[in-house]
Amino acid sequence: MKVIRAEHLGMCFGVRDAINLALDTAKREPLTILGDLVHNETVLAELRSRGIRIEQQPEQVRTNTVMVTAHGASERALGRTRERGLNVLEATCPLVHVAHRALAKLVADGFHPVIIGKRDHVEVRGLTGDLADYDVVLSESDVSNLPARSRFGVMAQTTQPIERVRQLVQLLREYFPQSEVRFVDTVCQPTKQRQHAAVELAQQCDVVIVIGGAHSNNTRELVETCSRHCPRVHHVQGASDLNEHWFQRQDTVGITAGTSTPDVIIQSVAKWLARLDTTFTTSTKETHEVKSISRMD
Ligand code: SF4
């Protein structure tokens, strides 16, 4: 059995930096994280074990310092937090700031804002929190039900698959041929790289293991993407979810992971697979460097 690791996988720099900021701050003072930093139970348990609290609303915060997650927040939500006299640490990812600025410019230029994303996701709540009038779409029926406007300004939640985003923008143009549609691509580069690498991986594998939290949106997107190219895709939260019956001796097995999955969990899955007598490779376009799993540790 051969195991291939996706060229790009696992935790992105935005989430990693936010976690490091939280851990460093918690060494000095009590800290509350506002909202869901990651949808990964292992990471959340680690943060809680360092005494870090996680709350959903500013009113629930009981520490002097509160951290906004990598997914960002609206100015209104930040204002509510500051009004309570709290010290606000911003861990908003720079690429989420780019999305906020793109949206603000669309509105300033007179376009009706349409966000492609999940309405209840913390990033989308942050994007829409300061807007009086906007729409959030995720499917063709959402697009077809939009009221007609003369100008639509479209952008996306940073973790949406770019193919879906382009498809919905195209549909919007088809449903509203009289309207001016301006699209700004705000899907972040790490998401594009992981999605692209997942397609490459799934196309050459008999089985793909996608590692990530059960409620992680971008992990589910990776599962969906891989399933379009490989018939046997399993979503696991860690090595303990793996099942020997999924693998046969001649299989090529691919590993990928969502942007909130820590390296230690990816390594534990790789080690578990190594016990099944494997060779281990990293997927790249040009070369497949073969390493034994023990040399990777
Ligand atoms: S998924 Fe993209 S935008 Fe979100 S934190 Fe990671 S790098 Fe930043």
Contacts of 224 (CB under 8 A, 6+ apart): 161
The DSSP code for 134 is: -
- Which band of pLDDT confidence, cut at 50, 70 and 90, is reported for residue 288? very low
Q: Of 201, 147, 208, 227, whose CA–CA distance to 179 is shortest? A: 147
- Phi, psi at 207, each rounded to 5°: -135, 140
The answer, yes or no, to whether any atom of ligand 1 lies below 6 A from the CB of 191, is yes
For ligand 1, is residue 96 a contact (CB within 6 Å)? yes
**pTM recorded for the entire structure:** 0.88
For 172-192, how does the pLDDT look when each residue is reduced to its tens digit (9 = 90+)?
999 999 999 999 999 999 999
Q: How far away, in angstroms, is 13 Cα from ligand 1 center? A: 7
Which range among 59-63, 168-172, 178-182, 239-243 shows the weakest confidence by mean pLDDT? 59-63
- Report pLDDT for 218: 87
Instruction: Choose the residue to mutate in 67, 68, 93, 218 for probing ligand 1, maximizing ligand atoms within 8 Å of C-beta.
Output: 93
pLDDT band at 207 (very low <50, low <70, confident <90, very high): very high
What is the arithmetic mean of pLDDT over 7-25? 96
CA atoms of 118 and 218, how far apart (whole Å): 11
Helices (H), the chain: 13-28, 41-49, 75-83, 94-108, 122-128, 140-144, 162-175, 189-203, 217-227, 263-274, 293-296
Cβ-contact 258, 216 below 8 angstroms:
yes
Report CA(61)–ligand 1 centroid distance (Å). 25
Count of other CB atoms within 10 angstroms of residue 65: 16
Ligand 1 contact, 239 CB (< 6 A): no
Catalytic residues: 123
* Burial (Cβ within 10 Å: 0-12, 13-18, ≥19) of residue 190: buried
Mean pLDDT of the chain: 91
